Every structure is written in C-alpha cells, then in structure tokens.
Homo-oligomer: A and B are copies of this chain.
Amino acid sequence: MAGPVGVAVVGASGYAARELIQILLRHPGVRIATATSRQDERLDALHPSLAGRIDLACEPFDADRVAERCGFAFLGVPHTASMAVVPSLRERGVKVIDLSADYRLKDAKVYEDWYGHVHSDPAGLAEAVYGLPELFREQIPPAELIANPGCYTSTSILSLAPLVAEDLIDRKSIIIDAKSGVSGAGRSPKLTTHYPECNESLSAYNVGRHRHTPEIDQVLTTAAGGGESVEVIFTPHLVPMDRGIFATVYATPRKPVAEHDLIELYRLFYSASPFVRVVSHLPATKDSAYSNFFDVAVRVVRGRILVLACLDNLVKGAAGVAVQNLNLMLGMPETTALL
C-alpha cells in the first residue's frame, strides 16, 4: 500500500508558502519531501512559527531531485520564475500547482501586455487548468498543471459567477471595489508596506491597471458561457490588517431583480461547494480569516445589485485553494486538511 505522496514546496520563503506548509503538515495524504529557496536555510529559520513542526533545510531547486522524491510540486516563486521551471518538472512527470500568475491567462499576448514579458511556455499555458474548484471542479482531477487563482481574482470571480452564469447583469457595468490586508503584497520589504507607512492608513493603488483585471475578465467571460466579454472596473485598496480580502461589487441588472431570489440563486449555485458560505448577515473578513471559507452576501440597493464578499487571501486566496486542488487531484475529500 502506498504511503503519503511526496510533495515539493518550490519557493518556500513567502507567506503563502508558509501557510501551505502549515496546512500540508496536517494533511494525511502527503509528506513534504523537499523545499527550495534562494536562502539556503532551514524552514524554521525562514519561518520561526514552524519551529518544532518540521525538520527540513531548503535546497537549491533541482528538477531531478524534485522528481525523484515528489509526485506534486507547489510553486511559490514569483511570476516568470514559475514558467522557468514548470516545463522541467512536467517533463519529469511531476504535477504542478503554480501559485504564481504565469499560467492564469489563456492568451499569451494578454500576458505579455499586462506582465511586460513574453511568455516562454505557451504550450503549458494552453494546457493549464484554472484551479478554482467552485467553477472548474470537473477539470481539475486529471490536470497536470494547475494555475492557482489570484486572491483578488478568486474573491471577484466567486462574487460574480452566479450573476454572469445566469446572464443577469450588464457585463460592462461591473465595479469591483476590493480591499486587501497587507500580506497580499508579499514578504519583500518596501516603503509602501513599511509598518509606519501603511499602518493607520488606507489608500487605493494600481487604479485601472492591476494585473488581476484581465484574469477576472477572462474567467468571468468563460463563466458567462462566452459571448460579449466581461470588462470590470477593478480598484484595489491596501488596508491596515494582516489578512483578508473584502470585495464590494456593484452591477446593473438587465432587468429588475429581487434580493431574495438572488440569495436563492447563490445558495443553489454553490450548493456543492463546501467552502462557500452564502450568509444573510454582512460578512467581515475576520470571520473567514485563518480558514478556507469564502463568505458572500447579496443586496439590492436602488435597483443595483451589491455583492459583499470576503476570504483569507493566504488560505482560500492562495494556499488553501491549492490544497483543495491537490485533494481533487488525489481523489481525496475536497475538505481534507482544510477544516
């Protein structure tokens, strides 16, 4: 009988990687067999919270070593670094769950426009499955390369999918006013995330040009079953808190709608999704923090549809959904290690 499958954490120094390691340590089906990082350090030196949990030192990336020990690799490296290693892993039969943005956009040209680089692995791009189980649960189990969704995008897409799937709203009317905790900006120190700069402050950033915009457009257009493109206005804000993304979404219905019908629609749409909670109260990021839940409420105000939703950007927005994808690929219950 097979024991737990070996998994690699490639790029182990960031916040999503740390969260992932903590989840994987509770997972009965896997064993962290190797971790890589530019810093040649023990995992518990990179992340003191892991002291006493795992006895492993990071190694430089080596595709052969990963393939020898692991059936799966989670990539926690930045975009462009991902597409530099994915082909070598896939050639060696390692299944990849990529937490970077490299395989999310189907069109290499759109990738180039928004990320400023030519995509070096268009073949991988064509085969990658977008790892949002709530929408693509059937396509994930057989996949060999998963593009794990962005945190803002998961929040936005899950907020709007029922409305576009039922073609209830004007596809050019969508405004997503998103608010994120600071861990979403990563672990590299910079002035904008220096504590005395962002603490006690709220501001918008990348207005009209955040890279999650084309990802939201693309997946919602798919969720709509094609036809006219969805084009959202997406405004991210930085909020003085560690974790959590909150999206306040505004959309103009094609025809008048009743709030309770919408709520019913959401409950039905997500009835098979164990991590979506359609709540009747207004959600707060704190109630979904440190969990893999996505909480969502729907309101109608002066004829406009408002969706208010949140999740933990490091869990449901990154490491948690990555493990959801892993569970589906392993044929294990979707909630394994996530409750």
Contacts and interface: CB of A to CB of B under 8 A. Distances in A.
A136 interface: no
A286 B195 contact: no
A301 interface: yes
A196 B177 contact: no
Contacts of A177: 177, 248, 250
Contacts of A291: 49
A303 to B, nearest CB: 9
B187 A189 contact: no
Contact of A200 (B231, B246, B289, B310): B289
Nearest to A206: B282
A38 interface: no
Given A175-B250, A240-B239, A306-B207, A285 B233 contact: no
Interface in A273-295: 274, 277, 279, 281-291, 293, 295
B277 A201 contact: no
A286 B15 CA distance: 13
A190 interface: yes
B48 A231 contact: no
Given A189-B191, A204-B248, A287-B49, A199 B182 contact: yes
A339 B53 contact: yes
Contact of A301 (B183, B201, B208): B208
B241 A200 contact: yes
A302 to B, nearest CB: 6
Interface residues of A, number: 72
Given A187-B191, A201-B285, 11 more contacts: A49-B289, A175-B250, A182-B199, A195-B242, A197-B286, A199-B242, A200-B285, A201-B289, A202-B284, A207-B308, A240-B241
A205 interface: yes
A189 B194 contact: yes
Interface string A156-185: 000000000000000000010101011100
Contacts of A201: 241, 244, 284-287, 289
A57 interface: no
